[in-house]
């Protein structure tokens, strides 16, 4: 899952980003509304965590634009005002969820994951394909009941492949969904990650190469 944090308080933004990255999510950060909207127009984010009071371009305007242009991208709006009228107004702008400050990171993480499951086509909280079971929230995967010791990037790639339910997923899409904007588009990180993922999944083939496209389960 790829997430954009749009927050002008840099320490808050970096703290959220570090926490989400520890959970295996790919995270980019913008500290003003203009930068947030630009990044969202360039990269395919599943979820945008959007502070309402952003400089340069107000969070309300960012929310309106993203809701109109990218309805599949889910928006979690953050604000210091959590009165009922503020919540109603934020949701009316196109936000999918609303969280007042201060907040507990565990709650933010749960909301981001819930929104991520609804981004694009809705997906169940636990993915199953053949004898492989993946619980992204718990960062746990098993094959035929055997626990798989996967690192965050392997989990992120496996999640995208299993969510596609047998459809081919391009290397570019895997890179965009599991790595942040600093990833080199010419890197072989996806191929290397798939290689180690296959080794950990065992000798029976599970991840297949689709020539000229990418991979599928």
Q: What is the DSSP string of 146-203?
A: EE----HHHHHHHHHHHHTTTS-EEHHHHHHHHS-TTS-TT--HHHHHHHHHHHHH-S
Angle of helix 152-163 versus helix 171-178 axis, rounded to 10: 130
pLDDT at residue number 121: 62
Report the domain count for the chain.
Answer: 2
Q: Which two tokens stand for residue 192?
A: 């290397």
pLDDT tens, position by position, 79-125: 876 666 666 776 778 899 989 888 999 999 999 999 988 876 667 78
Report CA-CA distances (Å) from 93 to 44, 145, 212.
21, 45, 41
Q: Do 208 and 160 sit in the same domain of this protein?
A: yes
100, 118, 136 - which closes a domain: 118
Q: Do 131 and 112 sit in the same domain of this protein?
A: no
Cα separation, 77 vs 54, whole angstroms? 11
pLDDT at residue number 82: 63
Q: Residue 166: which domain range? A: 127-216
Spacing of C-alpha 126 from chain mean position: 16
pLDDT tens, position by position, 64-81: 999 999 888 999 999 876
Q: Indicate whether this model's pTM tops 0.85.
A: no
* CA dihedral for 87, 41, 48, 30, sign (positive or negative): negative
CATH number assigned to the domain comprising residue 28: 3.40.50.2300
């Amino acid at each position: 899952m790829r997430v954009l944090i749009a927050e002008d308080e840099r320490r808050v933004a970096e703290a959220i980003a570090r926490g989400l990255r520890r959970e295996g999510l790919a995270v980019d950060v913008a500290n003003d509304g203009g930068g947030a909207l630009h990044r969202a127009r360039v990269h395919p984010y599943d979820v945008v965590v959007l502070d309402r009071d952003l400089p340069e371009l107000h969070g309300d305007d960012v929310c309106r634009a993203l809701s109109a242009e990218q309805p599949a991208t889910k928006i979690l709006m953050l604000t210091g005002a959590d009165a009922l009228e503020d919540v109603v107004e934020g949701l009316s702008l196109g936000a999918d969820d609303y969280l007042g400050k201060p907040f507990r990171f565990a709650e933010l993480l749960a909301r981001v994951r819930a929104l991520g499951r609804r981004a694009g086509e809705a997906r169940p909280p636990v993915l199953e394909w053949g004898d492989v079971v993946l619980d992204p929230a718990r960062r746990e995967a098993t094959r035929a009941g055997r626990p798989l010791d996967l690192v965050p990037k392997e989990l992120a790639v496996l999640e995208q492949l299993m969510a596609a339910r047998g459809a081919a997923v391009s290397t570019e899409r895997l890179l965009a969904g599991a790595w942040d904007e600093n990833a080199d588009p010419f890197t072989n990180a996806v191929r290397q990650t798939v290689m180690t993922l296959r080794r950990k999944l065992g000798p029976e083939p599970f991840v297949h190469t689709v020539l000229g496209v990418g991979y599928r389960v």
